[in-house]
Amino acid sequence: MLISKNLGKKVTTGEGEITILDDVSFELNKGKSLAIIGESGSGKTTLLGLLAGLDRPTGGEVHLSSQSVFELTEEQRAKLRKDNVGFIFQSFQLIDGLTALENVMMPLELKGDKSAKKRATEMLEKVGLSHRIHHFANQLSGGEQQRVAIARAFVTEPKILLADEPTGNLDTATGQKIIELMFSLIENLDTTMVLVTHDTHLAERCDDAITLSGGKVINTTFSDTAASVPQQENNMTADSAAAEGAANTSDVSNADSASNTDGASKAGGARAIEGSAS
Ligand SMILES: Nc1ncnc2c1ncn2[C@@H]1O[C@H](COP(=O)(O)OP(=O)(O)OP(=O)(O)O)[C@@H](O)[C@H]1O
Ligand SMILES: [Mg+2]
């Protein structure tokens, strides 16, 4: 369903070439959630941007809904995103000149949805913003903007949700409510989710987790330890992502959090693809 294969990103700066993401591989099955954790600057937002096809990698591949994202034209990639992906940006990226309601209606209108206003209004109610729907984005508090961004990402019922610190600006009580809402939405809609978070409790709610440091995966916690995953060659197809029971634990140095996530009761979500580099 969502595959990252040896994904890498290097950029050239005044000080020369730097690697901001290095050889990141995983597979995430439909309806499963993956937490991306790691210190500031470790490459989390960069990874999400690549998974969405918003940014180009310097190495590796992303497969999304059976399509190899970077083999598509810009236009095809935009359509794939519109049809499949919801994105909650760390910086919200709401449009200031539009109201909360208009911001949430936008992705529905892009799809030609005639009931955009009704659906956007209902979604804003769900995130607790009924009383703010006609405020312009820049008239909202940080936490309110974050909730509008969440509503906008969910309103199209995307198959894949990519969320960058979606509760980073919320107080504990509101954050908790939003987390419950997000998990109930992804469960009801069978959404596949990649969630960047600094919150370890939130990470533990996800099926699987990857820790990044300096752009590299330094730890993985996968929920199903039972399945042993054969080494994949470069001819891996999207079908393999949909294969059942496909999870593997590699380097479970974080055994506490693995057991806290009640791993045994969950079907495998993501698995590391190791040794698939040439
Ligand atoms: N276009 C770019 N040019 C140069 N450096 C970049 C570029 N994009 C990102 N970086 C650097 O890459 C590193 C990873 O950035 P990224 O935004 O992915 O980190 P992050 O893990 O999301 O951090 P945070 O938790 O602070 O949001 C940072 O050191 C950042 O400065
Ligand atoms: Mg970030």
- Has residue 169 been placed in a domain? yes
| pLDDT-based confidence at residue 167 (cuts at 50, 70, 90) | confident
Average pLDDT of the chain to the nearest whole number: 83
Supply the range of the domain harboring residue 25.
2-95+155-271
Count the domains in the chain.
1
Higher pLDDT, 70 or 242: 70
- Has residue 139 been placed in a domain? no
- Has residue 132 been placed in a domain? no
Q: Is any atom of ligand 1 closer than 6 Å to the C-beta of 221? A: no
Residue 25's H or E segment, with its range, is: strand 16-28
Q: What is the largest CA-CA distance in the chain?
A: 55
Q: Is any atom of ligand 1 closer than 6 Å to the C-beta of 97? A: no
Secondary structure class of 268 (helix, strand, coil): coil
Q: Is any atom of ligand 1 closer than 6 Å to the C-beta of 9? A: no
Q: Is any atom of ligand 1 closer than 6 Å to the C-beta of 41? A: yes
Query: Which of ligand 1's atoms lies nearest the C-alpha of 39?
Result: 25
Query: Which of ligand 1's atoms lies nearest the C-alpha of 198?
Result: 25
Give the best-scoring range by mean pLDDT among 109-123, 174-188, 211-225.
109-123
- Has residue 113 been placed in a domain? no
The yes-or-no verdict on residue 86 having pLDDT over 60 is yes
Q: What is the pLDDT of residues 29-68, one digit of tens each?
A: 999 999 999 999 999 999 999 999 999 999 999 999 889 9
In total, the chain counts a number of residues equal to 278
| pLDDT-based confidence at residue 16 (cuts at 50, 70, 90) | very high
- Has residue 114 been placed in a domain? no
Whichever domain contains 235, its CATH number is: 3.40.50.300
Closest C-alpha residue for ligand 1 atom 27: 40
Dihedral pair phi/psi, residue 130, rounded to 5°? -55, -35
Pick the ligand that lies closest to the CA of residue 44. 1
- Has residue 131 been placed in a domain? no
Please tell me the distance from the alpha carbon of residue 118 to that of residue 7, in angstroms, as a whole number.
Answer: 39
Q: What is the pLDDT of residues 198-245, one digit of tens each?
A: 888 889 999 999 999 999 999 998 776 443 333 333 333 333 333 333
Residue 173 Cα to ligand 1 middle (Å): 29
Residue 230 Cα to ligand 2 middle (Å): 33
Please tell me the distance from the alpha carbon of residue 237 to that of residue 67, in angstroms, as a whole number.
Answer: 9
Dihedral (CA of 149, 114, 77, 29) sign:
positive
Task: Give the residue, out of 15, 46, 216, with the most ligand 1 atoms within 8 A of its beta carbon, to mutate for a pocket test.
Answer: 46
> Beta-carbon neighbour count of residue 128 at 10 Å?
16
Q: What mean pLDDT is predicted for residues 265-276? A: 48
Kindly report the pTM of this predicted structure: 0.80
The yes-or-no verdict on residue 259 having pLDDT over 70 is no
- Has residue 276 been placed in a domain? no
The yes-or-no verdict on residue 100 having pLDDT over 80 is yes
Amino acid 200: pLDDT: 85
Q: Is any atom of ligand 1 closer than 6 Å to the C-beta of 43? A: yes
Tokens (6 digits) for 79? 């359509």
- Has residue 181 been placed in a domain? yes
Contact 72, 21 (CB under 8 A): no
